[in-house]
Amino acid sequence: MAAQATEMLSVDLSGQIALVTGASRGIGKAIAVALGQSGAKVACVARQREKLEEVASQIQKAGGEAGVFGCDVTNSEEVNAVVEQVANEWDGLQILVNNAGITQDTLIPRMSDEQWDSVLNTNLRGAFLFTRAASFPMMQARYGRIINITSVSGLMGNPGQSNYSASKAGMIGFTRTVARELGSRKITVNAIAPGFIETEMTAALGPALQEEVKKRVPAKRLGQTDEVANAVLFLASKSAGYVNGHVLTIDGGMTA
């Protein structure tokens, strides 16, 4: 089945500063581009600066503003430095999207300490570090939108992904707790849990396994990165001011 064309949500984010981790490819790239096309100035964060330059260039060619920031999301000093630089040089930070994530799949009897630690550190610790750092300029401005990209694996589990599922389930608990902590400062904290989205990661499954996945999804197709980006645009907008601590699944009905 051919990919579905996605109409982008119309949201005005003019004058706002957004930071997106894991912005170099896949869902993160789509989110960064969508935010830029909606008027936000986007700080694109990842380890691979070369791919980030391509994303920033795409935003700029569409008339938006973007900057590139290389960062190890598990390194507290690097994270603090990036957030401080963005907030100081760009005069604020209104939107944070914690998207950076990795997988290292294997069944639990064969999972190494390194495989467990690297996934939990990137996916969960990274979200914690950026949220903590971003909370200061947001609290000072008494406004903010924090959006954590988790996964349906954190809701239902997935064989071979105990580390990934644990990290994504942790993000959901983290989201709901921080939403309670920061809500009185007009800062919302929400999560988006994508199902199987058409990215480089799902392409690696191969055609046969992709077809099996589609059979499990009521929509009978993989999701598109722009469909996740649309959800981010809504949660980042002022229209979503009373949505807080919510987990929005985008999975074609798989967890229904």
Which residue in 69, 128, 143, 164 is the catalytic one? 164
From start to end of the chain, where are the E strands? Answer: 17-21, 41-46, 65-70, 95-98, 144-149, 187-194, 247-250
CA 201 to chain centre: 15
Q: Evaluate whether 49 touches 25 at the Cβ level (below 8 Å).
A: no
Helix (H, G, I), strand (E, B) or coil at 175: helix
Angstrom CA distances, 238 to 51, 111, 145, 192, stand at 30, 43, 9, 17
How many other C-beta atoms are found inside a 10 Å radius of the C-beta of residue 229? 25
Rounded CA separation 239/243 (Å): 9
* Active-site residue flag, 143: no
- Residues labelled catalytic: 164
